[in-house]
Structure 1
Amino acid sequence: MLSDNPILNIDFIEDGNIKQDNELENSKQKESTLKTEVKETSQLTKVSSNEKWTVKEVEEQKAKETDYFKQLVEKADKEIEEIFHKPEELKNFFAFATTLQNNYSSRNLMLIHQQFPGATIVKSFTEWKREDLSVKKGEKGIKIIRPLVDEYVVINNNGENQKVFKKNWTRDIWQKIKNNEIEVYEDLLGFKPANVFDIAQTNLPKEEYPEDYFNDFIDEDTARLKFNELVLSELKSFVKEKNIELKPKASLGQARGLTATNDLGQKVIYLNEHNSTKENIVTLLHEYAHIKFNHSYKTTERAECEYQAEMTAWALAKTLKVDTTENSYKYIGRWLQTSNVVDKRKWMDETISTLKVIRQELNQHILKSIETRMERKKELEEKEEKKHKQVLSLKQ
């Protein structure tokens, strides 16, 4: 899906079994943080060269950040208003909100949901540092809003109540506060943007994550592990033949994977490093289906995209003797319930057509792989036979 962030040029597609209902144009954590912190000086070093920022450029850069953040907040507010009229999305949003182990306002929850749908535990850079953890290099902050609050007390001055803010508190006021003689109030002055980071963006080893972190991941099929590993190996080889780069990624939270376009225009499929082998199979097939369909949430209803990709992934996995029925049908069912399209025959027709194309591609790849293995086996057998003959000749 194409990102609607004017600063970026990245094409995202969501994972095959993501739990929450989210917009992938806002995925990959939205990458909304500008790569340069603009400081209040007349000249700053530019990231790309040795030139200096002019005062005008500093102000323009600040304006870009402010405008983008304003749009992000407005969109969050709009989605909060609309979500109450969409029961399935409301349920999914609450599922996300309860999964996230932080006490945030609905606006901040929606902001996090938009930028990092797989988030579970988020903290500021400083808060992670206090726990002796570091944010991994290159990770982009998740934008939220922090309230600007000033404390005040109410003092009676000649029969009139007056607010006295903290900076103007006298020793007498401080003493009365200490003695609980007067009450301290808070005045909301406004909001400012702030960055937080998910636990998956830190250097904490996954072995040390909270015990309930992996509850929603598909369990490994240990009985067929070797077979599944062979299938996954073939799928990885197949995808690479299509000039699609494949990378593991830790900072996806509970999202199973995503597809992006790199600077060279090449598609890159990221798989969550916490996925089981079976999960990687269906997610890889799901992401490849998105690419074959050329899905974009800007031109095609999201439910249609996810239905087609997951139905294709499920059917192909079944062909490969990997059963993902339970998880795939739950995922497909959620998206069908969110769609207002009455006649879904078009979805089915396109799915069947694309499914046949991908299945033919896979068959050709697997046949080629079998031929290569048979040739290698034949070469090894010939070498063994030759070696055996040499041993026999020496004995004679």
Structure 2
Amino acid sequence: MSYQRKSKEDVQAEVKALAEQATEQVKKFETSFEARREFFDFMTEMYNYSPKNQMLIRSQYDGALGVAPFGYWKKEGFSVQKGEKGIKIFVPKTVSYFKNSEGITKQLSKATPNEKIDLQLGRYEVTKQNYFSVGSVFDITQTNAKPEDYPKIYPNRPYELNIEDPKQIDAIEKELLSIAKSRDIPVYNSQREYPGIELGAAKGVFFTNSNGGKGIVISDRINQTERLAVLTHELAHAALHDPSELNKNGYWSTHDLSSGRATNVKELQAEMVSYVVSKHHGLDTSEAAIPYIQSWTEDIKDFDKNADVFKDIQVTSQDFIKQIDESMARSQSKANVQTNSKEALAR
């Protein structure tokens, strides 16, 4: 049977149905902290997708490990198994329009040769509109890929991360410090190194001062694994809540943090980023993080009204995870080359 292109009405109806499905997941999120915790855990695996798409993926395929479009699996040499149903997600689309000399609004892609010339000369104003369509993805477990293939498909993902290995803990900390360095934020290992800050019972703090200086101070009373979580928490504050970045798009979307809920938003975002990044790398901080997160989510239950808050968490987590994983993958690749070279010389 030949493929039949869906009409605009059909696409809109499908988007509406998917939005209603997402809304059902949102209601669960808002009424149950356990549902929120499960969503936070799922976020550690699907950090590349928007929070709404994360909810949709989980509602259709709980336990998904890694999803991708049909074409991706084919390109990687794997096939989706017969009978598997696609996982529906929102796909953002931007369409450009212009109004021609006759006052008719047209899509940029449908401009005539003469209109294209006029467009190049700047005679028509081009506007853009954002839409959502519906796309399908498939989880890796829906393909013929085997567990031993997973590292090849996701080379940067630490499937076998042994957090008990001091070298791997050191590698994660090294990358977190690199993130701090890239933002010109010095990290002090105790308040003795920066006596102007009094930590008290706090485990860490991100600070800025009137002279434009900034930094992170970490308590020396915590162990190394806890230090990683605290450092990530403070880096999230630096990425999202640095007042000196307010006029430089320093906040991805949560621009207004001057209201009474500012502290709640800041602490929720920082601890959520720490939780997602830490758990992705094998550090389970839930014993301390979940009660902490719960205390800040009591008045931030309306997911839609706080979509920007969760989007910032997702973007920041993605940014940190990507940098850490890519560096660790490069280091592992370099180590493998050195090992292979030594083995070759020994033969």
Scaled by the length of structure 2, the TM-score of the pair is: 0.40
Q: Which has the larger radius of gyration?
A: 1
- Normalised to the residue count of structure 1, the TM-score between the two structures is 0.35
